[in-house]
Amino acid sequence: MGRTVVIFAAGSRGDVQPCLALGRALTRQGDAVRLLASTRYQHLIDAAGVDFHPLAADPAEIMESAEGQELLAGRSNPAAFIRGIGRVLRPRVAQILEETRAAAEGADLVLAPAFGFLGVHLSQYLRVPHAIIHFQPSQPTSLFPHPMAPAARLLGGFGNRLSFDAVDLGSWLMCRTFINGWRREHLGLPPMSALAPFRRIRRAPVLCAFSPTVVPRPPDWGPNVHVTGFWHHDQPLWKPPQRLLAFLADGPPPVYVGFGSMKTSDPEATDHLVRTALRRAGLRGVLAGDPATSEDGFLVVSDTPHDWLFPRMAAVVHHGGAGTTASALRAEVPSLVCPFFGDQSYWAARVHHLGAGPRPLPFRQFTVPALARRLRELTRNPGYTEASRRLGRAVRSESGTGRACEVLNRLG
């Protein structure tokens, strides 16, 4: 008889798809999996045969809101970003927490990210094990700072290590009041002090859902931290539309440009800038957006699986989300990363450091000349192609979900 495993996958598609990949792997070995995510992704989860449970928060809706745009405007300040997340989520928190508790009832194992320490609270409530999911390096190390606090590097190893505690403490203090209320009123648990969760999360099993080829494991991480490899969700039954096949056959491989769930204050101006830069670089493009806006040299697509599309591209231009970065590396194609906020700058730096793409171009620095120059460099430097192929072969050889299942099976 398998376990009942609850996976909390609040966030964008880049958060949901890796959790879905793990959910499918656990299901195949006989576990019953419940996946909590925004209703926006129900069709994806249902199609994979995993039990879907809805969450009130829709990340795309949040980013499109006035509050979300204000949050993006302060993206360079980690403290302001954490406060902004709290401000945006506060009206939805009570519903999210209650949906989470209801879905977790009867679970034998809880998997959740570190934000808010949800796994800690549910583990105490249900008296079952939990594991933490990280999509970016979030365990203290002296080798580099937390991806959300890159300036800590200036303080050396001590500052690097301290930055992880600072980010975790900031996020906990931001949500501690309403989570402690939830603990008292709905879980029957005493409130937690400012530092109490840290003793638990520093000992808990940690699943790092990224590649050790891309992020080598720091030697000062404890034995509870497992770098498994990326968790990749394939969609082998997806059929490409004829217009996409015809466009690909009608010329040299195009460049894909898409920024995931990131929204800009002026989407039309951004689209015009991208098309102008591609024309100036002499490139065709497959663009994420409204298919009705396709024109000669540019095919616009919606909801197209990266595992099918990216290997057919000359290169990929993206925002640097962990999931999109993983898909581009796995596809063996070079990337130009244009980070908006959060951990995206970290992944942009890793891609460049590993030789799989040029120096990042932050979205706030977007101009036609700058983007056109980077596009020419991206597509004309054979070194990027060679490095991407080497990395892609290594990444695909790693069984991320298989390794994660091995770790979780030892938890009972």
The vertex-98 CA angle with 92 and 102, nearest 5°, equals 145
> Residue 263: what pLDDT?
81
Say what the pLDDT of residue 171 is: 84
The CA distance from 214 to 321, in Å, is: 14
- pLDDT for the residue 57: 67
Alpha carbons 300 and 295: distance in angstroms, whole number: 8
DSSP class of residue 216 equals: P
- Tokens representing 275 are 């098309």
Q: What is the pLDDT of residue 70?
A: 60
Q: Which two tokens stand for residue 27?
A: 């299901």
What pLDDT does 173 receive?
87
- The pLDDT value recorded for residue 114 is 86
Q: Give the C-alpha separation, 7 to 111, whole Å.
A: 5
311 residue type, one letter: P
pLDDT, averaged per 10 consecutive residues of the chain (412 residues), comes to 90 91 97 95 94 79 60 56 62 82 96 90 96 96 95 94 92 88 95 86 93 98 97 89 97 96 87 98 97 96 94 98 96 97 94 98 96 98 98 97 97 78
Q: Tokens for 73?
A: 């405007």
Helix (H, G, I), strand (E, B) or coil at 207: strand
Confidence (pTM): 0.91
Instruction: Write down the pLDDT at residue 196.
Output: 87
pLDDT score of 23: 98
Rounded distance, CA 226 to CA 217, Å?
Answer: 9
226, 208 contact by CB (below 8 A):
yes
CA distances from 21 to 35, 49, 128, 136, 198 (A): 11, 11, 23, 17, 28
How far is Cα 298 from Cα 292, in angstroms, rounded to an integer? Answer: 11
Domains of the chain, first to last: 4-134+141-201 (3.40.50.2000), 242-396 (3.40.50.2000)
Q: What order do you get walking across the sheet with 109-113 strand by strand?
A: 51-55, 32-38, 4-8, 109-113, 130-134, 206-208, 225-227
